[in-house]
Amino acid sequence: MSPSALRPGPPSAARSGVQSIERAFELLEALAVAPAGLTELSNRVDLPKSTVARMLGTLEGIGAVARDEDDRTYRIGMGLVELAGAVDASAALATLVRPHLTDLSDRTGEAAGFSVPTGYSMHYLVQVESPNAVQVRNYSGLTVPMHVGPSGLCVMTLWPDADVNRYLERPLESFTPHTVTEAPLIRKRLAEIRDTGHRWIHEEFAEGISSVAAPVLDEARRALGAIHVHGPTYRFPGSADPDVIAGLVMDAAERVSAPHKYTREPASKARPKHSRRNGDERTE
């Protein structure tokens, strides 16, 4: 046997992939200690600057790392923060929010749901079905980009400007011909949500579906998720007042949120009350 036959071959693709994951975790652990620039990070993890720069670019692209444009330092991104929080809190939040969704569905006559942020997407965690005979799809378990639905837009209002900029620099997917993907229009929507506390959309997430959402925040004003109500566009909101419906959604979000988070006035007491009997859409 020749000596060359005894020499180890090049690392396998699998080993290379494992090494990349290990290095990525080393970078994230280093940033968890404190934000740092490229040179300092390279020293912390004992890797070449070119390798660190390449990996930071990848991590930044998926929201795990964010870059401060002012001092060129890197930090843990909102995507990773929200992902960790969602994993820990999802089961408890689903249990907490379900009674509020049931009440909201009773009052609006449509399906009510709760979703949580996971990276650059919203994960639909739980849904209470509409009392109407004609149901919309149950979206529990589905994950969609932030900009596609009102829940994601509500969560984005709590992001630092740098994270919003990073998200909007990416190619944005359209789910229907009505999906808004233009960065200036999305920024305008975020500003409006900060003023009103909610967002309506019509046929942007799915054709024939309208939806309204409000954010659920903790005591530190971090986004835990968002509560939404959605239904067929032909009947939702229909003849009902959109502002009253939005008020109901915001009230539900307030009850789930930390008690001192909001200062918004309660919604009008003149609320539509829909009967579940026989699946009718009667307002009482």
Q: What is the DSSP string of the chain?
A: --HHHHS--PPPHHHHHHHHHHHHHHHHHHHHH--B-HHHHHHHHT--HHHHHHHHHHHHHTTSEEEETTTTEEEE-HHHHHHHHHHHHHHHHHHHHHHHHHHHHHHHSSEEEEEEEETTEEEEEEEE--SSSSPPP--TT-EEEGGGSHHHHHHHTTS-HHHHHHHHTS----SSTT----HHHHHHHHHHHHHHS-EEEESSSSTTEEEEEEEEE-TTS-EEEEEEEEEETTTSSTTS-HHHHHHHHHHHHHHHS-TTS--PPPPPS----B--GGG---B-
pLDDT in tens, 222-269: 888 999 999 999 999 999 999 999 999 999 999 888 543 433 333 333
Q: Which domains does the chain have, with CATH numbers?
A: 10-76 (1.10.10.10), 80-279 (3.30.450.40)
In this predicted structure, what is the pLDDT of residue 87?
A: 56
pLDDT band at residue 16, thresholds of 50, 70 and 90? Answer: low
Mean pLDDT value of segment 166-188: 96
pLDDT in tens, 117-127: 988 999 998 99
Taking the model in full, what pTM does it have?
A: 0.62
pLDDT over 90 percentage in the chain: 49
In this predicted structure, what is the pLDDT of residue 252?
A: 93
- Strands 199-202, 143-145: pairing is unpaired
Report the range out of 24-28, 67-71, 83-87, 129-133 with the highest average pLDDT.
Answer: 24-28
pLDDT band at residue 137, thresholds of 50, 70 and 90? Answer: confident
User: Would you call the peptide bond into 184 cis, given omega within 30 degrees of 0 as the criterion?
Assistant: no
Report d(CA 174, CA 182) in Å as an integer.
10
CA angle 234–237–238, rounded 5-degree value? 55
